[in-house]
Amino acid sequence: MDGRSRALLALLIATTDALQRTIRLSGKRCCAALRATGPSWARGGVSDRAFGVEIELLSDDGVYDLADAFDRADEDVIIRNTVTRDTTKAWKIVPDLSLPAGRGFELVSPILRGANGRRRLATVMNQINDVIRDDINGRLVKALGGVCRLAPGVQPTPGSYVNKQCGYHVHVDLTGIKFAGVRRICQNWAKYEDAIDLFLPRSRRGNANRFCRSVRYNAFLDPGTNKEVNDYIGACEDKDELMACINPFTSEDDPGRYYKLNLRTGKKNTIEFRAHSGTTDTEKLKRWINFVVAFVENSARNPEPKSFYDDRDAVHKFHRLFEWVVRGNSIYNFYYGRALELNQY
């Protein structure tokens, strides 16, 4: 780690609330290993609210080789050839219709809860990553032992993997949250969406991906001012009105679910966050769960949010997001680091 990166890391850890109000994201190079202090699954540090995850992945060889990963994780898995949205006690691997036919799959968790749920997710994904690494090593040995010769630094593509087409979705249970709380969650998402985009890849920002479209700039809310958008959402009197505002249909065959924040979850009493990119990195998986659960609980608990002035930029909103809604130095530092990594000009 060079001197600039060490200084940046020290600054992040030592940052006070006063300094947070003045720091601005920049294009300075940042160590890719920048992490928050302490594990993201520490006992007592996470909410016990139930959640479920859906991780999209691609596979050129099918996904039956992943079954061994679940055996090693001591978890049951169901592999199906058709899409199913029923909730099961086992993990599921099902086709994903948003990815290339025959190659796109979705790993769907059972209902998980609290620190134990995060550990179960991490255990499964660590075993899946081992399978992927073994596959890479096997293909490398085969390539080097046969007629193929790889260029220096080049590795073969594993049978199962993620790329920028893939997404990572988290459902958060809404038990105990009344309609007014759900409405405040939606107001805050529209308010902070461009700030959240700062710590997501460009392939997930704005309307770059048609399967996780913007809420703030959807067909109903755009081109309203920040105050108008906040007032539109705040005026919704029931869930149907709120869904029409947050997840409007854009065509006859539009299911209305493909937004970064999705209320159209059928019979499930959940809210779905679809903004994150596909990943098998356990730290990124758990941090996003911590973020969205805190976002849900604090938005529902806090007073109705006020809108930003229209001249406030995404950087200003980023710092207010972690000061007013998702609080805590650990999660702030992690996503500050991610924003620096993803916004180098």
CB-CB contact of 69 with 63 (8 Å): no
CB 50 within 8 Å of CB 171: no
Burial class of residue 64 (count of CB atoms within 10 Å of its CB; 0-12, 13-18, 19+): exposed
Q: Which residues contact 333 (CB under 8 A, 6 or more apart)?
A: 12, 13, 15, 36, 37
Q: Check residue 158 and give its pLDDT.
A: 53
Catalogue all structural domains in the chain, each as residue range(s) with its CATH number: 48-146+155-342 (3.30.590)
Q: Give the pLDDT score at 67.
A: 86
* CA 39 to each of CA 127, 182, 290, 335: distance values in angstroms, whole numbers, following the listed order: 19, 29, 11, 14
First-to-last alpha carbon distance for the chain, in angstroms, is 20
**pLDDT number for residue 145:** 52
For the chain, which ranges sit under pLDDT 70?
A: 1-44, 135-160, 345
pLDDT digit string (tens) for 171-220?
999 999 999 999 999 999 999 999 999 999 999 999 999 999 999 999 99
Rounded (5°) CA angle 62-66-69: 175
Amino acid residing at 44:
G
pLDDT reported for residue 160: 60
Residue 336: predicted pLDDT:
97
DSSP 322: I
Q: What is the average pLDDT value for the chain, to the nearest integer?
A: 84
Model pTM? 0.83
